[in-house]
């Protein structure tokens, strides 16, 4: 640990804090259809879109209508991507002549991008054509993010409105997310990334001569050994910057290259690194302010933000501290940070980022359901590796995915209000809305879905041949790999303990199911809550009202998240990373 | 309250209740009953499974029998303890029901036919609409309304109050309850309920909990508990594959122990006891809630509508001052006022006599020699007084006296008129006294605000509840009393329709409203209010309309009802929080114990330093069972209620039950572990 490292983490934190209010305010204006400075340009475009699509933007929907539109839109988009992947070899912009994808992989990927997960069971540069990347994957990066934001706004409306049957218009919310927020920001940020050296082209891959030819020893099937000298390298190219911006801003995380944000063409400098991390947290953090603004309780927005911030800081401190400590098994090796070396556990890390920015990136990308990585999570020391695992297990609500983080958090708010609300001697109320059986049922259902998905699939995988075939390490680390894969997919994160080979029929299909459950099965109950809350009367605030503001509520919310969200996984965690950590300290590695 | 049979019910047979409760705890093991409580049902299923495994292990001679036996026993104890909690709560109600049943004993009824003849038949044959005649010393055969006559009735069987009450036809005191006894006179009663549906029947089934339905909050809480149970069930079920992969498969005893410790058994076991005890606390205060829903709603109330008379002020006004007219001494005025009031038996009249006595020493006056002729109050003259020694002394409302003296061409002096206005403005009631058509002065009658009521309103305010006084007084008087009593708002010159409109208005704003009432014209408002407490002395219509009946007919009790409702909710919330918070420690006891055999390093998670893996698991299970027993008194008594704002209350309860819930099991399990190893149980 270095002062410089802590300072960079602190700086990042301050920047997130500074962004929250202005951006949150902007989101509020966009969704409440208040005038913004972009209206002169975008209003005509918006009207045109509605006219072409035959959308009546004045008509609002109830929660079922909203949910149905969302499912319809996502379903059609999903099939479209599947078709593109299955036919890419006949489509344009395929200079590498990459073949069509196998059905299971195409299905997995289509689901993965539709659900904002961006789990990648494949190596993009050798699998996806430029057309698939741009028309298929990038399209989903935008739409899945826009859908998530629309859902969050619909849920906030449910909390904020009183005696209302409707919670907004899905098409309008999605269109406005896209036009006012995602597209303009991506243009600016894409250019900012280009300024740092992120590539943007449609040229075929480049052949480069190696400065230092490499000799590789090969062993043939009959046991005879031969040597091979490699003198050239293929350098992948592509329209990266445009994709990189939305990959971060939309908390998608699907890399243009296999190495994701560790690749120098995706994330070349510490500045681009900082920018990318800020892009991940920007919208999820701002949405808390939007929540406060729309519900008329700015303090509540900040209380929710504080709970997220508290969990984030805990994670990053643990990750940075344990990674700096390094691997105790490297006895006699000096792993302290100094002028000349980064120190700590540098396995799987980029030298240009070092420990602090890697630990920070890991925490950020898993707190938010982004899943982009700038270092190999598989190579983290066990406890630091447990941080991203727990972050995702909590339900991707520590800032979380764009939109999904906020509505996931609202489910925990409702649970916290219900569990502790009775303690003030009234029927629990959330901002004046009584929390009753139906709301509790839906909240429990929403949380159940992701916990059960993770546990059941992981438990099956860990005792079946098909599941065990994918892991690359024995012992507790193998357990962590499987647990991470299902946690990441059910949480719609998309990062992985990269050692796992998930491009098998078993993993492609089960992970796809986990992703679908984690996204759509979890959000329908939340929409139901929103619809139910919107219809309720609002009890005016009094001294007897349960406070959903202030440090007390923040502590309560964190406790409920930790106890309900994380304790479920304590047994499996103790057999995975915790055991691995203890064994590592005792000198045993996997 | 000491004469209250219900209160006695709790003490007359504590041992009997205990014995019955123990018997019932076993009867409640019936899975058809258990399934209604999903948390405890899972425990029972777990206990059955361990029992089966234990027996098969015994037959096949493998496994640690001693450990398995103890786990199995404690799992059964867990279920029994939860049943016991419920049975205890019910037991108190059953004892009360028994007392009530005695009152319902079959009686003879004299049914009156249209032709005027009467027919003797058992009370169970009576139908609504029948008319019966009840004479002194007879039991009233069923609920009904007095349609003719006046009688004093002993209602102690229902209310516990031994002083007889007057029941008469017409007006707001016409309702009679079956099972009560007429002490004097004869009345005709029109029966209003069929057998089995009488007030007494309803009361019996309510206190017994027979007709107990889960309240909305309870249902919601049950869903949460069921959800947590499913999550933990899966966490435990899926643990086995992970354990197999890790090379440390677990015994069924360890897995079920972990499951039972993790699911919220504490609140799951006590939930229904808390609800029953809440109703019971109301009954002990002589309030019958028609549903648990009403008790819960009482906790949620935002606005209390309180009738001024009897609730905020003592029912009667008292004379507090004499204001003499010019040229009259205060003593003369007092003397005249006292003479005019000697025959006035109303509380106001008596208070005038007393005031004159205390202030001017006018006592022991011998009136007989003066041949007084007392003039009683009449609705026509609205005056009362005395004629003696050729003097005509009168007292009455200012308007009445004005009219009276105007007949002789006299007028009320201006200064007296000022007194009258001032008294009215300050919330009092002025009376004028005149002797021989000359105004002597003004008597000031004041509403006496009940002692301690101001503090109670302050408490309510701190809880976020607004109080609103309803009165027929003019706005000036109402404002003065409102200020004195410390209510937040008032509605003056209120007519019954106004009350209704006010309730609707508050409810439209999303507020819950509670009120009390007794008259027939209160019935619509009682029905509209979220919590409507009818006075037992009130009309049948009012009792039907409200969702609670106060047997003591004490309107101030509304405040207590609200407190009981809140206490019920707080108890539920606190124990839920406690139960969930407990899980942290239990994980730290059981997980290391499960895997320390295969991975000794995981022993580092054994932060409590429990002796052996068996002892650790056993101690967690024992703690989990004993905490239910330990918390029964709290569940039955309720968490102590404090009139604090929500934020302060939350902070306090979070600290006690949240943080306490995290810490307590660490200490408890450690202690049990020491004991278990000392006794060499594991």
Q: Which of B607, B679, B546 is nearest to B175 (CA)?
A: B546
Cα B512 to Cα B299: distance, rounded to the nearest angstrom:
10
pLDDT tier for residue B339 given thresholds of 50, 70 and 90: confident
Q: What DSSP line would sit under A109-175, residue for residue?
A: HHHHHHTT----SS-GGGT--HHIIIIIIIHHHHHHHHHHHHHHHHHHHHHH-SS-S----HHHHHH
In DSSP terms, B187 is beta-bridged to: B134
Averaged pLDDT for residues B441-445 = 90
pLDDT at position B216 over 70: yes
Q: Say whether B307 is catalytic.
A: yes
The whole-number pLDDT of residue A421 equals 84
Q: Which of A112-126, B426-440, B615-629 has the lowest mean pLDDT?
A: B426-440
List pLDDT tens digits, range A534-588.
999 888 888 888 889 999 999 999 999 998 877 789 888 988 999 999 988 888 7
pLDDT tier for residue B379 given thresholds of 50, 70 and 90: low
The region that residue B286 occupies, defined by phi over 0 for left and psi between -120 and 50 for alpha, beta otherwise, is: left
Establish if B583 touches chain A: CB-CB under 8 angstroms. Answer: yes
pLDDT at position A190 over 90: yes
- The dihedral built from the CA positions of residue A32, A38, A44 and A45, taken in this order, carries a sign that is negative
Kindly report the nearest CA distance between residue A155 and chain B, in angstroms.
Answer: 21
pLDDT at position A314 over 90: yes
Q: A138: which residues sit within 8 A by CB, 6+ positions away? A: A242, A243, A246
The whole-number pLDDT of residue A290 equals 97
Contacts of A478 in chain B (CB under 8 A): 245
Q: B409: which residues sit within 8 A by CB, 6+ positions away? A: none
Asked if B220's CB is within 8 angstroms of A544's CB, the reply is no
pLDDT at position B161 over 70: no
Contacts of A580 in chain B (CB under 8 A): none
pLDDT at position B233 over 90: yes
In DSSP terms, A226 is beta-bridged to: A218
Cα A143 to Cα A182: distance, rounded to the nearest angstrom:
10
Q: Which of B415, B397, B387 is nearest to B348 (CA)?
A: B397
User: Which A residues, 82 through 111, put their C-beta within 8 Å of a C-beta on chain B?
Assistant: none
Using CB atoms within 10 Å of the CB of residue B115, give its burial: 0 to 12 exposed, 13 to 18 middle, 19+ buried.
Answer: exposed
Selected catalytic residue, list B307, B530, B550, B673: B307
Contacts of B604 in chain A (CB under 8 A): 582
List pLDDT tens digits, range A484-518.
999 999 999 988 887 788 889 999 999 999 999 99
Q: What DSSP line would sit under B534-554, residue for residue?
A: EETTS-HHHHHHSSEEETT--
The whole-number pLDDT of residue A292 equals 97
The whole-number pLDDT of residue B172 equals 67
Contacts of B565 in chain A (CB under 8 A): 425
Kindly report the nearest CA distance between residue A553 and chain B, in angstroms.
Answer: 9
Of A448, A463, A572, the CB nearest to B244: A463
Instruction: Determine which of A386, A393, A425, A447 to mutate to test the interface with B (most B C-beta atoms within 10 Å).
Output: A425
Asked if B658's CB is within 8 angstroms of A575's CB, the reply is no
DSSP E strand stretches across B224-371: 287-289, 303-307, 313-324
Contacts of B462 in chain A (CB under 8 A): 543
Kindly report the nearest CA distance between residue A299 and chain B, in angstroms.
Answer: 15
pLDDT at position B6 over 80: no
User: Which B residues, 601 through 640, put their C-beta within 8 Å of a C-beta on chain A?
Assistant: 601-602, 604-605
The whole-number pLDDT of residue B212 equals 63
The whole-number pLDDT of residue B5 equals 40
Q: What is the 3-state secondary structure (H, E, C) of B172-228?
A: CCCEECCCCEEEECCEEEEECCCCCCCHHHHHHHHHHCCCCCCCHHHHHHHHHHHHH
pLDDT tier for residue B8 given thresholds of 50, 70 and 90: very low
The whole-number pLDDT of residue B9 equals 39
pLDDT tier for residue B105 given thresholds of 50, 70 and 90: low
pLDDT tier for residue B12 given thresholds of 50, 70 and 90: very low
Q: A118: which residues sit within 8 A by CB, 6+ positions away? A: A112, A141, A247, A252, A253, A254, A371, A494
pLDDT at position B102 over 80: no
List pLDDT tens digits, range A81-109.
999 999 999 999 888 899 999 999 999 99
Q: What is the 3-state secondary structure (H, E, C) of A288-327?
A: HHHHHHHHCCHHHHHHHHHHHHHHHHHHHHHHHHHHHHCC
Q: Which of B615, B604, B606, B612 is nearest to B587 (CA)?
A: B606
Q: Which of A56-70, B46-60, B80-94, B539-553 has the lowest mean pLDDT?
A: B539-553
The whole-number pLDDT of residue B364 equals 63
The whole-number pLDDT of residue A157 equals 97
pLDDT at position B637 over 70: yes
The region that residue B154 occupies, defined by phi over 0 for left and psi between -120 and 50 for alpha, beta otherwise, is: beta
Cα B597 to Cα B323: distance, rounded to the nearest angstrom:
94
Contacts of A451 in chain B (CB under 8 A): 231, 234-235
Asked if B572's CB is within 8 angstroms of A540's CB, the reply is no
Instruction: Determine which of B232, B241, B281, B505 to mutate to test the interface with A (most A C-beta atoms within 10 Å).
Output: B241
SS3 B115: coil
Taking the CB of residue A22, how many other CB atoms lie within 10 A of it? 11
Q: Which two tokens stand for residue B469?
A: 């006084």
Establish if B648 touches chain A: CB-CB under 8 angstroms. Answer: no
Cα B293 to Cα A372: distance, rounded to the nearest angstrom:
51
Q: A572: which residues sit within 8 A by CB, 6+ positions away? A: A455, A458, A479, A483, B235, B238, B239, B242
Taking the CB of residue B186, how many other CB atoms lie within 10 A of it? 14
CB A527 within 8 A of CB A151: yes
Computed on alpha carbons and rounded to an integer, the radius of gyration of chain B in Å comes to 33
SS3 B148: strand
Cα B439 to Cα B678: distance, rounded to the nearest angstrom:
93
Asked if B605's CB is within 8 angstroms of A578's CB, the reply is yes
Cα A454 to Cα B248: distance, rounded to the nearest angstrom:
21
pLDDT at position B7 over 50: no
pLDDT at position A27 over 90: yes
CB A153 within 8 A of CB A404: no
Half-sphere exposure of B1 (CA within 13 A, CB side): 9
Using CB atoms within 10 Å of the CB of residue B23, give its burial: 0 to 12 exposed, 13 to 18 middle, 19+ buried.
Answer: exposed
Of B227, B577, B584, the CB nearest to A420: B577
Cα B445 to Cα A320: distance, rounded to the nearest angstrom:
79
Averaged pLDDT for residues B649-677 = 94
pLDDT tier for residue B11 given thresholds of 50, 70 and 90: very low
User: Which A residues, 139 through 198, put their C-beta within 8 Å of a C-beta on chain B?
Assistant: 162
Averaged pLDDT for residues B390-416 = 86
Size of interface A-B (CB pairs under 8 A): 220
Q: What is the 3-state secondary structure (H, E, C) of A450-492?
A: HHHHHHHHHHHHHHCHHHHCCCCCCHHHHHHHHHHHHHHHHCC
Which secondary-structure segment (H or E) carries A448?
A: helix A437-463
Angle between helices A437-463 and A505-516 (to 10 degrees): 170
Report the length, in residues, of chain B: 682
List pLDDT tens digits, range B351-364.
888 888 888 877 76
> What ipTM does the predicted assembly reach?
0.91
- Report the DSSP pairing between strands B144-148 and B187-191: antiparallel
Asked if B462's CB is within 8 angstroms of A543's CB, the reply is yes
List pLDDT tens digits, range B582-625.
988 898 999 999 998 888 888 888 999 999 999 999 999 999 99
Taking the CB of residue B251, how many other CB atoms lie within 10 A of it? 18
CA A104 to chain CA centroid, Å, is: 23
Q: B558: which residues sit within 8 A by CB, 6+ positions away? A: B304, B306, B311, B514, B515, B516, B531, B533
Q: Which of A361-365, A373-377, B285-289, B649-653 has the lowest mean pLDDT?
A: B285-289
CB B308 within 8 A of CB B479: no
Cα B148 to Cα A577: distance, rounded to the nearest angstrom:
85
pLDDT at position B118 over 80: yes
Establish if B574 touches chain A: CB-CB under 8 angstroms. Answer: yes
User: Which A residues, 455 through 514, put their C-beta within 8 Å of a C-beta on chain B?
Assistant: 455-456, 458-460, 462-463, 475-476, 478-479
List pLDDT tens digits, range B166-211.
888 776 677 888 878 888 888 888 888 887 777 777 777 776 665 5
Cα A154 to Cα A404: distance, rounded to the nearest angstrom:
11
CB B539 within 8 A of CB B175: yes
Taking the CB of residue A211, how many other CB atoms lie within 10 A of it? 5
Q: What DSSP line would sit under A315-383, residue for residue?
A: HHHHHHHHHHH--TTSTT---S--SS---S--TTB-TTTHHHHHHHHHHHHHHTT----SB-GGGS-HH
- Report the DSSP pairing between strands B131-134 and B165-168: unpaired
Q: Which of B645, B649, B657 is nearest to B576 (CA)?
A: B657
Kindly report the nearest CA distance between residue B301 and chain A, in angstroms.
Answer: 8
Mean of pLDDT over chain B: 85
pLDDT at position B2 over 50: no
Residue whose tokens read 């000298």 = A229
A521 phi and psi, to 5 degrees?
Answer: -70, -30
Q: Which of A427, B16, B273, B459 is nearest to B281 (CA)?
A: B273
Report the length, in residues, of chain A: 590
């Amino acid at each position: 640990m270095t002062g410089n490292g802590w300072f960079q983490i602190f700086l990042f934190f301050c920047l997130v804090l500074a962004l929250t209010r202005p951006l949150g305010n902007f989101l509020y204006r966009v969704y409440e259809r208040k005038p913004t400075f972009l209206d002169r340009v975008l209003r005509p475009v918006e009207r045109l879109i509605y006219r072409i699509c035959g959308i009546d933007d004045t008509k609002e929907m109830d929660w079922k209508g909203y949910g149905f539109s969302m499912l319809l839109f996502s379903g059609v988009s999903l099939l479209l991507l599947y078709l593109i992947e299955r036919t890419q070899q006949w489509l344009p912009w395929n200079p590498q002549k990459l073949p069509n994808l196998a059905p299971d992989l195409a299905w997995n990927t289509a689901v993965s991008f539709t659900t904002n997960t961006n789990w990648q069971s494949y190596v993009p540069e050798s699998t996806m054509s430029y057309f698939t990347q741009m028309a298929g994957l990038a399209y989903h990066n935008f739409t899945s993010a826009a859908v998530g934001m629309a859902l969050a706004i619909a849920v906030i409306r449910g909390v904020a409105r009183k005696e209302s049957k409707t919670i907004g218009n899905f098409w309008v919310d999605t269109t406005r997310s896209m036009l006012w927020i995602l597209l303009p920001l991506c243009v600016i940020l894409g250019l900012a990334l280009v300024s740092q050296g992120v590539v943007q082209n449609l040229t075929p891959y480049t052949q480069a001569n190696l400065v230092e030819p490499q000799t590789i020893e090969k062993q043939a099937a009959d046991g005879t050994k031969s040597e091979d000298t490699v003198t050239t390298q293929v350098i992948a190219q592509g329209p990266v910057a445009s994709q990189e911006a939305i990959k971060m801003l939309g908390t998608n995380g699907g890399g243009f290259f296999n190495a994701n944000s560790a690749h120098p063409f995706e994330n070349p400098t510490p500045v681009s690194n900082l920018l990318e991390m800020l892009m991940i947290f920007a919208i999820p953090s701002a949405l808390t302010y939007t929540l406060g603004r729309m519900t008329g309780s700015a303090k509540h927005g900040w209380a929710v933000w504080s709970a997220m911030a508290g969990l984030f800081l805990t994670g990053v401190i643990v990750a940075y501290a344990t990674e700096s400590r390094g691997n105790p098994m490297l006895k006699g090796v000096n792993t302290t940070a100094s002028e000349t070396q980064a120190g700590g556990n540098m396995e799987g890390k980029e030298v240009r980022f070092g420990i602090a920015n890697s630990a920070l990136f890991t925490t950020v990308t898993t707190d938010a359901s982004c899943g982009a990585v700038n270092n190999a999570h598989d190579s983290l020391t066990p406890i630091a590796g447990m941080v991203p695992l727990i972050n995702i297990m909590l339900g991707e609500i520590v800032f979380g995915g764009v939109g999904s983080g906020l509505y996931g958090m609202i489910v925990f708010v409702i649970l916290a209000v219900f569990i502790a609300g009775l303690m003030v001697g009234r029927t629990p109320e959330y901002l004046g809305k009584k929390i009753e059986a139906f709301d509790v049922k839906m909240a429990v259902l929403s949380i159940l879905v992701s916990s059960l998905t993770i546990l059941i699939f992981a438990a099956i995988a860990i005792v079946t041949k098909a599941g065990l075939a994918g892991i690359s390490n024995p012992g507790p680390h193998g357990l962590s790999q499987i647990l991470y894969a299902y946690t990441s997919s059910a949480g719609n994160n998309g990062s992985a303990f990269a050692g796992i080979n998930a491009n098998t029929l078993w993993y492609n299909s089960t992970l796809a199911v986990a992703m679908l459950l984690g996204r759509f099965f979890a959000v329908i109950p939340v929409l139901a809550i929103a619809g139910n809350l919107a219809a309720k009367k609002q009890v005016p605030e009094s001294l007897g009202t349960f406070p959903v503001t202030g440090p007390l509520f923040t502590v309560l919310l964190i406790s409920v998240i930790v106890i309900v969200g994380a304790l479920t996984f304590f047994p499996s965690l103790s057999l995975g990373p915790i055991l691995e950590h203890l064994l590592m300290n005792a000198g045993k590695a996997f | 309250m000491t004469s209250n049979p219900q209160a006695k019910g709790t003490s007359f047979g504590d041992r009997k209740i205990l014995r019955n409760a123990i018997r019932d705890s076993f009867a409640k093991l019936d899975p058809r009953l258990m399934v209604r409580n999903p948390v405890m049902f899972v425990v029972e299923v777990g206990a059955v499974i361990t029992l089966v495994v234990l027996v098969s292990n015994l037959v096949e001679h493998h496994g640690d029998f001693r450990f398995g036996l103890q786990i199995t026993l404690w799992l059964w104890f867990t279920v029994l303890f939860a049943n016991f909690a419920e049975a205890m709560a019910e037991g108190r109600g059953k004892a009360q029901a028994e007392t009530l049943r005695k009152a319902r004993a079959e009686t003879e009824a004299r049914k009156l036919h249209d032709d005027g003849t009467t027919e003797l038949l058992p009370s169970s044959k009576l139908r609504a609409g029948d008319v019966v005649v009840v004479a002194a010393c007879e039991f009233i055969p069923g609920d009904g309304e007095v349609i003719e006559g006046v009688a004093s009735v002993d209602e102690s069987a229902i209310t516990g109050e031994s002083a007889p009450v007057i029941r008469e036809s017409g007006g707001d005191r016409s309702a009679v309850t079956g099972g009560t006894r007429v002490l004097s006179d004869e009345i005709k009663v029109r029966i209003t309920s069929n057998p089995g549906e009488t007030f007494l029947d309803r009361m019996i089934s309510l206190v017994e909990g027979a007709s107990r339905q889960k309240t909305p909050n309870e249902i919601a809480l049950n869903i949460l508990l069921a959800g947590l149970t499913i999550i933990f069930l899966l966490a435990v079920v899926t643990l086995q594959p992970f354990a197999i992969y890790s090379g440390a498969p677990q015994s069924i005893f360890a897995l079920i122990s972990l499951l039972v410790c993790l699911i919220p058994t504490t609140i799951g076991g006590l939930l229904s006891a808390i609800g029953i005890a809440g109703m019971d606390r109301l009954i002990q205060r002589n309030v019958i809630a028609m549903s648990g829903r009403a008790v819960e709603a009482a906790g949620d109330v935002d606005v209390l509508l309180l009738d001024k008379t009897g609730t905020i002020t003592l029912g009667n006004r008292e004379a507090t001052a004499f204001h003499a007219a010019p040229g009259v001494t205060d003593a003369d005025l007092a003397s005249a006022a006292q003479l005019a009031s000697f025959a006035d038996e109303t509380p106001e009249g008596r208070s005038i006599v007393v005031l004159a006595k205390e202030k001017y020493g006018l006592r022991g006056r011998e009136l007989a020699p003066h041949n007084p002729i007392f003039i009683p109050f009449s609705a026509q003259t609205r005056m009362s007084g005395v004629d003696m020694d050729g003097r005509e002394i009168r007292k009455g409302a200012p308007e009445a006296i004005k009219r009276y003296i105007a007949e002789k061409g006299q007028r009320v002096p201006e200064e007296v008129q000022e007194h009258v206005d001032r008294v009215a403005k300050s919330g009092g009631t002025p009376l004028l006294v005149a002797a021989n058509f000359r105004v002597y002065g003004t008597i000031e009658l004041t509403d006496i605000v009940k002692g301690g009521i101001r503090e109670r309103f302050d408490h309510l305010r701190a809880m976020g509840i607004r109080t609103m006084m309803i009165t027929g007084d003019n706005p000036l008087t109402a404002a003065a009393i409102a200020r004195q009593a410390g209510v937040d708002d008032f509605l003056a010159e209120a007519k019954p329709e106004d009350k209704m409109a006010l309730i609707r208005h508050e409810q439209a704003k999303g507020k819950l409203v509670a009120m009390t009432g007794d008259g027939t014209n209160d019935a619509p408002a009682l029905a509209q209010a979220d919590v409507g407490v009818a006075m037992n002395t009130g009309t049948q219509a009012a009792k039907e309309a409200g969702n609670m009946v106060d047997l003591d007919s004490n309107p101030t009790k509304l405040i207590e009802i609200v407190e009981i409702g809140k206490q019920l909710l707080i108890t539920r919330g606190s124990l839920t929080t406690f139960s969930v918070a407990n899980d942290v420690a239990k994980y730290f006891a059981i997980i290391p114990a499960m895997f320390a055999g295969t991975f000794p390093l995981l022993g580092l998670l054994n932060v409590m330093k429990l002796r052996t893996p068996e002892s650790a698991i056993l101690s967690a299970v024992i703690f989990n069972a004993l905490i239910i027993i330990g918390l029964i008194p709290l569940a039955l008594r309720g968490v102590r209620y404090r009139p604090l704002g929500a934020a302060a209350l939350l902070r306090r309860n979070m600290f006690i039950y949240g943080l306490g819930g995290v810490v307590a099991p660490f200490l408890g399990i450690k202690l049990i572990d020491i004991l278990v190893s000392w006794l060499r149980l594991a």
